[in-house]
A and B are shown apart, each in its own frame.
Chain A
Amino acid sequence: MLYTAFLTGGRRTLFLAFAARVAPAMRALDAGAEARALALVEDLLADRPARTRRELALFLWLVRWVPALLLLRPFDRLPPARQDAVIGWLQDAPLATLRSGLWGLKTLAFLAYYGSPETGEAIGYRPSKTGNTFLHAR
């Protein structure tokens, strides 16, 4: 079956809104960096079974619309503090399924930002093949 991109349309909008709360530095990425970040996620998902992508799509739907039951607006249209509250609630939700779903989504957001080789320099991570040279120079 032909793989079709996962993060398109509403899913892309929602994922970016979610990722901006989970890894706030995502907000500062320019268009090119953002595209590369999303490509990391897309490539990972492409290698996962279709069932995993279906579960993720369902969880994204829940994240988007369950807040509307209480707060009358979908996740991506909530103010940031409310979005954080939703994420925080899911992270400590009584159901392990919700917690692990949130963990999975968070992991993709972290992959988008921290998985990029460009991020290392910004966070003080500069490995070298000859690390002992730096170690001995301390």
Chain B
Amino acid sequence: MPVSRARPRESVRNPQTSAGSAGPRTARPARERRGATGSPPFGKLRAPRAESRGARATGPGCGAEPHVIKDFDIVIVGSGAGGGTVAQALGPLVRDGVRVVVLEWGTRLKEEEYTGREVEMATRLYFDAGGFLTRDRTMTLAFGRAYGGSTVVYTGTSLTIPEATVARWGVGGLTYDDLARRSRKYLEENHVHLLDQADINDNNRLFHDACRALGYRVEQFPINVRGCQGSGLCNLGCPNAAKMGTHRVQLPEAERQGVTVVTNCRVDRVDLDGRTLHVEVRDPGFGQPSSWTPGRYRVRAKAVVLAAGAVNSPALLLRSGLGSRLPALGRYFTCHPALILVGQHARPITNYHGHPKSYYCDHFAQSHGFLLETCMYFPFVTAKNLAGFGEAHQRLMSHMDRLQMILVLAIDPARADNRVTIDRDGQPVVDYTLAAETKRALVDSMRASARIFFAAGAERVHAPAGVKFLIEAAERDRIDELIPYEGLRPGKASISSAHLMGGCRMGGGPADSVADAWGEVHGVPWLFVADGSLFPRCAEINPYVTIMALADRVAERVRERIGTLRAG
């Protein structure tokens, strides 16, 4: 039966303001701020404004420029694990005349554009090519920007949050049973399963066997692939369309139900008085064209769901003037600070063929505060993650096919001072300082990983906190001495993160949280958050399934409220 689609209303406004108003942006020369991909970045965001003026649409830049007005009932910002889930869950409302739109900053790549080329794909699919720097430049954050958000570039590892973690979160009204039930739904929908042993490469198998030999608990990752051909390029976007992210499952289904998805669309801010989003569509020069023509838009809504991720959702709310009302906004940012560690074998092992992430070791999670996972990265990422340079570095890099890799994730505490803010131009800035216990966990993780590498037969191991670039197998009895706690020096060791959480944490009230247990922003009954920024503390596991479960709750709340919100 054909779906009766709700049609958004549209009108064009070209305010004839006083002479000298900004007007349409002058086209820039092709070379101007144009990257390798030919992608011109969006212009400056609006500077943060005083709370008293924050809701007015009369400021410089946006207010005086021509824009098209669009009317929808529900606007979802972001299309990753959170936004994609909400879009699908609310899709059935379209049959009842509810107009739903998803605004996604990134692009919908054509299938042939998934080339697997490292720099090209990183530039196209990640913010800052995966190297978004924290303010003090001692850590990089990787988060996706695409139709499907970060689900396009993760490895598809699909774990349900542990009961103990939900208990530690301590959010009233949020239970493990509820999250587990919703998680199961998405595990099934995303075709999550264990890979066949024949598809597990040496890099993974060696980790598993070494953990077993050392008595460390090790488990196989369930992953969400369908027809995986083992390209090993998951983090650059699967070139075989095998990974079941929201770009393959939830968003296409939402579109079938009549939800509009607008790509290449950046949201500047939400006008709180007018329930209007100020957005801009640009053509990045690659990918499928956006469904809206490039230009500025005002999108009026009855309900807004922010799912722009743990950096951009808080930043958007701050630009919208909510900072003074919600003192916790942007705070309690956590990110599972990560290290990529390598061990070198005497002979080639299979590492870049096959799925890169099959096992994890949570043996040390409670006792030492870290998780170990298998991983396999690409030449540039691997090179920059080694703490060294010159001939020794080059010798290690010269045989990528001999490298075994482990990804460390530290379980970091939620601290108010670790936070997202915005600069004068409205751009997000992340302040993050490693806690003493996190530094200790990272060094402990290097020691444990070194033992695993050597137990797996590696000849030498690189530890970023090591007193020398490589530790030889003959020195394996001196690991603790050769990897001292004081050896971890922020700025020298390459610390990165791809699990961004917090900033709009759930909680009981506005004093120490931003949203309630259903994602509703305190004091703004039509504004919701549905992404990893809701986490009150870190997830202690790979977070995407939990984000989907939380987003499912948010969608349920929006569904309950939409009748009232539309009437209001």
Residues in chain A within 8 A of chain B (CB atoms):
1-3, 21-25, 39-40, 43-44, 46-49, 84, 87, 91-92, 96-104, 106-107, 109-111, 113-115, 117, 119-120, 122-136, 138
Q: Contact partner of A130 among B123, B129, B230, CB < 8 A?
A: B230
**Given A21-B389, A130-B230, are A43 and B36 also a contact pair (CB < 8 Å)?**
yes
Count contacts on B: residues with CB < 8 A to the other chain.
Answer: 62
Complex Cα spacing A125 to B382, Å: 12
Q: Tell me, rounded to whole Å, the shortest Cβ–Cβ distance linking B277 to chain A.
A: 24
B353 contacts which chain A residues (CB < 8 A)? 127-128, 131-132, 134-135
Instruction: Verify A123–B397 contact, CB threshold 8 A.
Output: yes
Instruction: Verify A84–B390 contact, CB threshold 8 A.
Output: yes
Q: When each residue 356-399 of chain B gets 1 if its CB lies under 8 Å from chain A and 0 otherwise, what string results?
A: 00000000000000000000001110111001111101100111
Complex Cα spacing A138 to B350, Å: 8
Residues in chain B within 8 A of chain A (CB atoms):
28-29, 31-36, 39, 41, 116-119, 123, 128-129, 131, 136-138, 198-199, 201, 228-233, 239-240, 348, 350, 352-354, 378-380, 382-384, 387-391, 393-394, 397-402, 427, 489-492, 494
What is the count of residue pairs linking A and B with beta-carbon distances less than 8 angstroms? 173
**Given A2-B32, A124-B402, A129-B239, are A99 and B119 also a contact pair (CB < 8 Å)?**
no
Instruction: Verify B492–A104 contact, CB threshold 8 A.
Output: no
Q: Tell me, rounded to whole Å, the shortest Cβ–Cβ distance linking B531 to chain A.
A: 24
B387 contacts which chain A residues (CB < 8 A)? 91
B378 contacts which chain A residues (CB < 8 A)? 125
Which are the 5 A-B pairs with shortest beta-carbon distances? Answer: A99-B491, A132-B230, A131-B353, A43-B36, A131-B230
Complex Cα spacing A122 to B32, Å: 34
Complex Cα spacing A102 to B387, Å: 11
B402 contacts which chain A residues (CB < 8 A)? 124
Complex Cα spacing A133 to B353, Å: 8
Instruction: Verify A22–B389 contact, CB threshold 8 A.
Output: yes
Instruction: Verify A125–B401 contact, CB threshold 8 A.
Output: yes
A84 contacts which chain B residues (CB < 8 A)? 390
Q: Tell me, rounded to whole Å, the shortest Cβ–Cβ distance linking B497 to chain A.
A: 15
Chain A residue nearest to B39 in the complex (CB): A47
Complex Cα spacing A100 to B119, Å: 22
Instruction: Verify A128–B491 contact, CB threshold 8 A.
Output: no
Instruction: Verify A43–B198 contact, CB threshold 8 A.
Output: no
Instruction: Verify B379–A99 contact, CB threshold 8 A.
Output: no
Supplied contacts A114-B397, A125-B352, 12 more A-B pairs, CB within 8 Å: A87-B390, A96-B136, A114-B379, A114-B382, A115-B118, A115-B379, A119-B379, A123-B400, A124-B399, A127-B231, A129-B239, A130-B240
Q: Tell me, rounded to whole Å, the shortest Cβ–Cβ distance linking A29 to chain B.
A: 13
Instruction: Verify A3–B31 contact, CB threshold 8 A.
Output: yes
Q: Contact partner of A107 among B230, B240, B382, B384, CB < 8 A?
A: B384
A21 contacts which chain B residues (CB < 8 A)? 389-390
Q: Contact partner of B492 among A23, A92, A122, A135, CB < 8 A?
A: A92
Q: Tell me, rounded to whole Å, the shortest Cβ–Cβ distance linking A88 to chain B.
A: 8
B427 contacts which chain A residues (CB < 8 A)? 49
Complex Cα spacing A123 to B39, Å: 30
Complex Cα spacing A22 to B39, Å: 29
Q: Tell me, rounded to whole Å, the shortest Cβ–Cβ distance linking A92 to chain B.
A: 6
Q: Tell me, rounded to whole Å, the shortest Cβ–Cβ distance linking A14 to chain B.
A: 16
Q: Contact partner of B35 among A24, A47, A110, CB < 8 A?
A: A47
B354 contacts which chain A residues (CB < 8 A)? 131-132, 135
